Amino acid sequence: MINYISCLCGRVEQEVLLQQEADPSVLRLCHCDDCRSVTGLLFSSYLILQSSPETFDGLIKYEQSDDINRWFCGICGAHVFVQLKDKGLYLIASGLLKKTLCTELVQHWGIDDTRDGGLSPSLPGVEATDQVCWAKSGQTHPQAVPQREPRPLNHEKREHHSETDNKLLACCHCRGVQFYVTAPDASSFDASSPWPDLLVPYHSASSENPGDVKWWLRCQATKYLAGTCACNSCRLASGFPVQTWAFIPKSNIFTSDGSPLTFDMKTMQRYESSPRIYREFCNRCGATLFWHCEQRPRVIDVSAGLFRAKSGARANEWLEWATGRVSFAEEAPDRTLIQTLETGLRAWAGQVTSN
C-alpha cells in the first residue's frame, strides 16, 4: 500500500510503502516509558513499512538502544521512522501519512509503565497482554497480538502536593532537557491569555478573553489545565495524531538547576512554525518540548509526556484534564479516532465525577 508522508516543515516529504499484511484500520498505541519520553507525548503510534525508506536526508538519527533506532526531522522535530534492527523492520509515524486512515480498532501497549493508564481509559480498545513496548514485542501482525480487556479505571485518591513533593519533574529520553514545574502560586495569576480552542472552539466563538479569566488554573488554583490536540500543526510537528499539552505559567517552570525557564537549554532547538509562534524539541532524541507564542508569552504549552509524576503518566495530582473536547478536532484526518477519543474523555470524566 503506497502512501505519502510529510512533516510540518515539509523536509521529509517522500513516498513510503506500508506492509502488505498490515491492517491500517488497526492503530497500535504504545504508552511505555521510552515512547513517552522520546516523543514527549503520552503515546506513540507507528505503522510497519514493507521496505526501508527511500531516504533519510534531513533526518537526525537517535540510537535509543542496541536494537532500536529512531529518526526525526532536524528542522521541525517531527518523529518519522523507527528501525527494529533485530527484526529488520522499519516503522513510520502514523500522523505523517497524507492518505487518510480510518481507525476501527485501537490496541494499547506498555500501559503498565504508566501506573495510571495514561490516556488509555479515554480511548476504548483492547490491551495487549504483553506489556512491553510494542516495538520490542516482536508482534508485527495484528491477528498475532494476544489481547485482554481494558483494565478498570484506577480510582485511588491521591493527595495534592506535599511539602516534600512540591516539584513536578520533567525530562526527555536522552535527558538533554530537564526541568521542573512548581505548584500554582501568586505569580501564576500574573499572566494573561486568550481562550484556547480546547475550551472555546475557534470555529464557533472568539478567543478574546476580556474578563482576563485565568483559565489555565483549575481546582481552585491548585492544578493546571491539560488537554489533547488534533490540529494539523501539532500532528505534523510531532508525527502522531494526538498531542497532549499542559498549560503552565512560565513563572512556574524552572531548569534543573533552579534557574527560570529559558529556551536555550542544552539540546533544545526552536522551530518557528508560524510567524511569532514557536515550538521547541530536543535535537538529540527528538522529544517535543514546548509551544508558545508572542500573543501569550507567559503561558507555555508543555508536552505532557515529559512529566515524571509519582502518581503516573497523567500527573493527576498536578493536572486537570479537559474532557469536553479535543482541541481542533475538526482538523483531524482520522475523524473516527478523534471521535472515539472525545467520547472516551467524556465517559472517563463521568467515572471520575461519580467516584
Q: Which residue has the higher pLDDT, 7 or 134?
A: 7
Question: Mean per-residue pLDDT for 200-208?
Answer: 95
Q: What is the rounded CA–CA span in Å between residue 104 and residue 336?
A: 7
Residue with cell 486568550: 194
Q: Are 85 and 39 spatial neighbours (Cβ–Cβ below 8 Å)? A: no
Please tell me the predicted confidence (pLDDT) of residue 132. 72
| 137 vs 97, more confident | 97
What is the C-alpha separation between 167 and 169, in angstroms, rounded? 6
> CA of 99: how far to CAs of 16, 64, 81, 241, 293, in Å?
11, 29, 17, 13, 30
What are the Cα distances from residue 238, in Å, to 71, 80, 157, 282? 12, 9, 32, 12
Q: What is the pLDDT of residue 101?
A: 82
Average pLDDT, rounded, for the chain: 91
Residue 249 CA to residue 111 CA, distance in Å, equals 30
Q: What is the pLDDT of residues 155-198, one digit of tens each?
A: 333 333 333 369 999 999 999 999 999 999 999 999 999 999 99
Give the pLDDT band of residue 354 (cuts 50, 70, 90).
low
Please list the residues that pair with 127 across neighbouring strands: 108, 148
- What is the pTM assigned to this prediction? 0.92
- pLDDT at residue 352, rounded to an integer: 66
Hey, what domains does the chain have and what are their CATH numbers?
2-137 (2.170.150.70), 167-353 (2.170.150.70)
- Percent of the chain predicted with pLDDT > 90: 81
Asked if residue 279 has pLDDT above 80, the reply is yes
Indicate whether 75 pLDDT > 50: yes
C-beta of residue 280 within 8 angstroms of C-beta of residue 269: yes
Please give the grid coordinates belonging to residue 242: 494526538
Residue 259 has pLDDT above 80, yes or no: yes
Mean pLDDT along residues 43-50: 95
